[in-house]
DNA sequence: TATTGTTATACTCTATAACTATA
DNA sequence: TATAGTTATAGAGTATAACAATA
């Protein structure tokens, strides 16, 4: 039927069409990257997603929760629990906003900024590990090509 | 401090260093791909992960659960619930194995094979959508470059 | 009326640890 | 003793719907 399929045995598995699928390769890569990220920041108990939250809060003065939700593609209610968690860890505070008592202004605490700074250094090392088999040019190509996949869905 | 940062305003968010990170671009791409996959197979209630399970069972006669677990990177106990679910939907059966009564041989049912065949067609359309902005050559380059990221973690 | 944040709730996915039946 | 599958359980992450306060 399919000349690319290999016969299965006790030791080797036939993945059939999966290896040809971009979606599958993307998922495998992601899994490996996620694992390496976690190991890179291990004791900090931070996921890529939480790292992004810290970066975005840090870069946007008095960010509102709804803005954060949009930026990191979470529901407003999910942001509540994310911020609850970070606030309990003394990394983020919700500040009162003058002029609109419905909204909170998010801000990193001193501890949050210190952690972010440490994480940023570790993430850069992690990124170097990701790209150690790629030339500068290949890295640029890769980012460019990724950006061409479903550009309207971002 | 950082000349790449843009001032935030009501309408635009500063993502700071995130866009330069390969891990971040990979995650964004993945999110978009996952969403498009789900829409492509919508009524079938199948995730990329379940699709991979069906493909691997189909391609490997009398696959054992532990082998499947290894192939799709799940714990044995997670495979139990995955197969429970697929068995309830009459897509997969656990067959008795002569000579070793501890193990099950997994097999797609007729319904499972029919669904897989339909899914495979839809996934190919989905893949075409993913790559519609890429030349053949770019597709090959992309898969090649993805394979160079943390090759030892696979 | 519309928006922001919140709560209560539930669902999916996955893992760990302990168990059973077989080998 | 070791292995395959199972069960009970728990945790992370996320969403939906309804609600209160405020605009």
Which three-class secondary structure string do you get for B27-47? HHHHHHHHHHHHHHCHHHCCC
Return the pLDDT at B42. 78
Nucleotide nearest A77, CA–C1', reads C6
Closest Cα to residue B116, out of B50, B39, B42, B55? B55
- Is there a contact between B56 and A29 if contact means CB atoms under 8 Å apart? no
Query: Which of 2.60.120.10, 3.40.50.2000, 2.60.40.1180, 1.10.10.10 would CATH assign to domain B40-146?
Result: 1.10.10.10
A147 to chain B nearest CA, in Å? 7
Q: Which nucleotides along chain C are within 7 A of a protein C-beta? A: 3-8, 12-18, 21-23
A111 token code pair: 């501890």
Q: Which of B26, B35, B142 sits opposite A30 (nearest CB)?
A: B26
Span B17-46, pLDDT tens digits: 999 999 999 999 999 999 999 999 978 999
Residue % of chain A over a pLDDT of 90: 90
Q: Give CATH for domain A43-145.
A: 1.10.10.10
Q: Which of B8, B138, B154 sits opposite A61 (nearest CB)?
A: B8
Instruction: Map tokens 């699709």 to a residue.
Output: B51
Q: Which residue is nearest to nucleotide C4 (CA to C1')?
A: A102
Residue % of chain B over a pLDDT of 90: 90
CA distance B56 to B34: 19
CA distance B8 to B13: 5
pLDDT band at B1 (very low <50, low <70, confident <90, very high): very low
Span B46-78, pLDDT tens digits: 999 999 999 999 999 999 999 999 999 999 999
HSE-CB for A122 with a 13 A CA cutoff: 19
The answer to whether B46 touches B117, Cβ cutoff 8 Å, is no
Domain boundaries, chain A: 43-145
């Amino acid at each position: 039927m399919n000349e690319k399929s290999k016969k299965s045995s006790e030791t080797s598995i036939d993945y059939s069409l999966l290896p040809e699928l971009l979606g599958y390769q993307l998922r495998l890569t992601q899994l490996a990257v996620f694992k390496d990220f976690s190991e890179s920041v291990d004791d900090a108990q931070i996921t890529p997603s939480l790292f992004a939250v810290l970066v975005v809060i840090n870069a946007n003065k008095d960010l509102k929760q709804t803005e954060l939700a949009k930026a990191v593609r979470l529901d407003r209610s999910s942001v509540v629990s994310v911020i609850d968690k970070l606030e309990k860890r003394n990394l983020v505070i919700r500040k009162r906003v003058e002029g609109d008592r419905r909204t909170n202004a998010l801000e990193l605490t001193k501890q949050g900024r210190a952690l972010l700074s440490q994480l940023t250094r570790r993430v850069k090392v992690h990124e170097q590990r990701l790209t150690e088999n790629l030339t500068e040019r290949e890295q640029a190509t890769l980012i460019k090509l990724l950006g061409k996949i479903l550009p309207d869905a971002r």
